[in-house]
Amino acid sequence: MAALVGDGWDRPGLGEWDVRALVGHASRSLLTVETYLARPAPAVEVASAGDYFRATRVMAASDPAVVARGRDAGTALGSDPAVAVAQIAERVLALVEAQDGTELVTTIAGGMRLGDYLPTRAFELAVHTADLATALDLPPQVPATAAAQALRIVADLAVADGHAGLLLLAATGRTGLPAGFSVL
């Protein structure tokens, strides 16, 4: 999707981010995999993607550093952000393919198996792909595998928090969601 930005890197992206910062933030979804694989965890403390988001939702909502990290990551993409993102993706995907998923990694939420952490990255990439498409006035197309993983996490979070009924009604066209509703 970054290859479609063209000269729109300064366009509004999401919230306080321009498109460059949004793409930078999304690229961190890949970069954290690389970073966390270099920091093995001694034990599993977070058992699932849903548990990861439940553990991090308070941090994400109250941490202004998230906005700054997105901007910094966007700047770090350099003069050709689309090429930089493609290179990051190629490098990290090769690294992941060399793993079996049982590796213990130290995340911001605690120790996790790589196979349980990767769906959180697919979720972030799926959501921010849709955000980027929206910012570029394109249809919010998300690759099917990433979309399915992201929607499973949304369902897990909604069920655990007692919001399944709201989502079911909205998804079947019966009602809209309340203003500001989020499973995160």
Q: What is the pLDDT of residues 112-139, one digit of tens each?
A: 999 999 999 999 999 999 999 999 999 9
**Beta carbons within 10 angstroms of residue 73's beta carbon:** 20
CA 29 to each of CA 45, 52, 93, 161: distance values in angstroms, whole numbers, following the listed order: 20, 14, 12, 25
User: Per the structure block, which two tokens stand in for 85?
Assistant: 């993102």
Question: Does the pLDDT value for residue 61 go beyond 70?
Answer: no
Question: Does the pLDDT value for residue 161 go beyond 90?
Answer: yes
The pTM (predicted TM-score) of the whole model is: 0.92
Question: Does the pLDDT value for residue 86 go beyond 80?
Answer: yes
pLDDT for the residue numbered 62: 56
Closest CA to 169 of 157, 178, 161, 160: 178
Distance CA 109, CA 118 (A): 14
Distance CA 172, CA 174 (A): 6
Question: Does the pLDDT value for residue 60 go beyond 70?
Answer: no
Distance CA 47, CA 60 (A): 19
Question: Does the pLDDT value for residue 43 go beyond 70?
Answer: yes
26-37 confidence digits (pLDDT tens): 999 999 999 999
Question: Does the pLDDT value for residue 98 go beyond 60?
Answer: yes
Question: Does the pLDDT value for residue 111 go beyond 60?
Answer: yes
Q: Mean pLDDT score of the chain, rounded to an integer?
A: 94
Average pLDDT rounded to a whole number, residues 5-18 = 94
